[in-house]
Amino acid sequence: MKFIATPVKGMNDFLPQDMKLRQHVLRLIRDTYATYGFDEIETPSMEHIENLTGKVGGENEKLIFKVMKRGRELEKGLATGEIADSGMRYDLTVPLCRFYAKNRNDLPTPLKALQIGNVWRADNPQKGRFRQFTQCDIDIIGDGSIMAEIELIAATSGMLTRIFSEVGVSEFTVHINDRRILKAMAASAGFTPEQYDDVFITLDKMDKIGLDGVKEQLREHGYAEEVVEKYVSMFDAAATDPAASAKASCSDFCEKVCADTLDPSVAAGMDTILDSVRKMIASGVHLEFDPTLVRGMSYYTGTIFEISIDGYNFSIAGGGRYDEMIGRFSNQSAPACGFSIGFERIITILRDLNWQEPGTAAKRMAFLVDERIPAEKLTAVFEKATALRGAGNIVTVQPLKKNAKFQVETLEKNGYTEIHKVYADTQL
């Protein structure tokens, strides 16, 4: 019987040159977050199907890879109709909430967690969209103060600055907003709470259709002219001059547009986040209060944020506060705030920018050995290799191929700089 050599649809094999980059980035991520006191955790790749289909995953719930019951469990399932009792996780947030509910008594408070792992989505595969991919989340659970936001944004900015310095990129923009400000602005304009979701979905298209487009679409949706007018005018200054919103404090802005509906401590907290983070990040990172930032996930309850590389038209990290998720997994709620890093996007950009493995002190040496040499000589080659490895070098020993030229070229391409052919009469 012959087997199938291609991977399962939408999933990737990673070759040595791919893995060098991926592992290098993972190590920088781990090392940077460790400096900020984040501890790594891990959860299983599978979750109870009930947890995955509980209406917190949005569109992703349609994309679950379901795992079948087994043996007698399966027979029971066939009778009752349900033949899957678990599924592959589609994100790291649902597993994190379950993890915290289960283990909270054995965890520090606040928990500063780094989670790196694969997730699976039965999506239509296309360029840059896969059915198995790596996610990387950092979360702070049990800290309801703005210290959580400050630590998350500063740490993630620091991580990105460190990684992208290797390809000469140093300019990032962090957009930050707050769901409570979004809602207050909509309320002050005259929208009712039931209308918020639709209004925010439209607002979210700002970067594609512009403020005029938003205005037109809101009109088309049948909202009152004066409500739409008032709402759009709030964003006017910010949209026509982004720099203006960056310089003005969030408190000033909110005082103007939604003083009647917003608790002023929300805007004051935002200003402290802005002030603190700006003192923590590299000069190339621009932190901007952005009242047009929406973000999709419905579970966010407070601050929301996104990071993009200047010149790229998509975010490479995003997150926010979700104080009500943990409570759905246990009787005890807990405040939570997190950042999800677009690991695969970062890898793609680094490769596009021709990332090269940073040089190390280790020399890469290869011994290509004629297989006909006497046994004692072969043993002597390995003794020599051992000594060289002990001295910190990377050494490989392998048979000399008939096509030695191609073998040497391949090794050189893989960074081997000293290549020795060993025959019976070679002096070691």
Residues in region 144-183 near a copy of itself by CB under 8 A: 144-147, 150-151, 154, 158
Cα(318)–Cα(75) distance, integer angstroms: 43
How many chain residues bind a copy of itself (CB under 8 A)? 111
What H or E segment, with its residue span, contains residue 61? Answer: none
Angle in degrees, 0-180, between the axes of helices 250-258 and 225-240, rounded to the nearest 10:
160
> How many CB atoms lie under 10 A from the CB of residue 419?
17
- Looking at the DSSP bridge assignments, the partners of residue 304 are 177, 320
CB of 409 to a copy of itself, least distance (A): 10
Give whichever of 28 and 268 is closer to a copy of itself, judged by the CB atom: 268
Rounded Cα–Cα distance for residues 17 and 24 (Å): 11
Q: Which of 28, 61, 77, 107 binds a copy of itself (CB under 8 A)?
A: 107
97 near a copy of itself (CB under 8 A): yes
Residues found in the chain? 428
Residue from the set 221, 401, 423, 428 that interacts with a copy of itself by CB under 8 A: 401
CA nearest to 364, candidates 407, 417, 414: 417
Degrees to nearest 5, angle at CA 51 with 64 and 179: 95
CA gap 229, 301 in Å, rounded: 27
The answer to whether residue 46 forms part of the interface with a copy of itself (CB under 8 A) is yes
Residue 4 lies near a copy of itself (rule: CB under 8 A): yes
Residue among 223 and 367 whose Cβ is closer to a copy of itself: 367
39 binds a copy of itself (CB under 8 A): yes
Nearer to a copy of itself, 220 or 371 (CB): 371
Figure out which of the listed residues 28, 61, 66, 237 binds a copy of itself, where binding follows CB under 8 A.
66
The CB density around residue 9, as the number of other CB atoms within 10 Å, is 10
- Asked if residue 374 has a cis previous peptide bond (ω within 30° of 0), the answer is no
Please identify, among the stretches 113-121, 194-202, 235-243, 306-314, the one whose residues bind a copy of itself according to the rule CB under 8 A.
113-121
Q: Starting from the edge strand earliest in sequence, which strands make up the sheet with 111-120, in order? A: 111-120, 132-141, 336-341, 315-321, 303-309, 172-178, 285-289
Using CB under 8 A, which of the segments 223-231, 235-243, 266-274, 285-293 binds a copy of itself?
266-274
Q: Which stretch binds a copy of itself (CB under 8 A): 198-206, 238-246, 272-280, 349-357?
A: 272-280
- Which residue lies nearer to a copy of itself by CB, 223 or 355? 355
Q: How far apart (Å, rounded) are the C-alpha atoms in residues 12 and 18?
A: 11
Query: Which one of 172-180, 186-194, 338-346, 388-396 is the stretch in contact with a copy of itself (CB under 8 A)?
Result: 388-396
Q: Note whether 86 binds a copy of itself by CB under 8 A.
A: yes
Query: 224, 190 in Cβ contact below 8 A?
Result: yes
Selected binder of a copy of itself within 72, 79, 80, 109 (CB under 8 A): 109
Residue with tokens 């360029």: 127
Cβ contact 11:131 at 8 Å: yes
Stretch in the footprint of a copy of itself (CB under 8 A) among 107-115, 173-181, 201-209, 300-308: 107-115
Q: Which of residues 313-372 bind a copy of itself (CB under 8 A)?
A: 328-330, 362, 364, 366, 369, 371
Min dist. Cβ of residue 353 to a copy of itself (A): 22
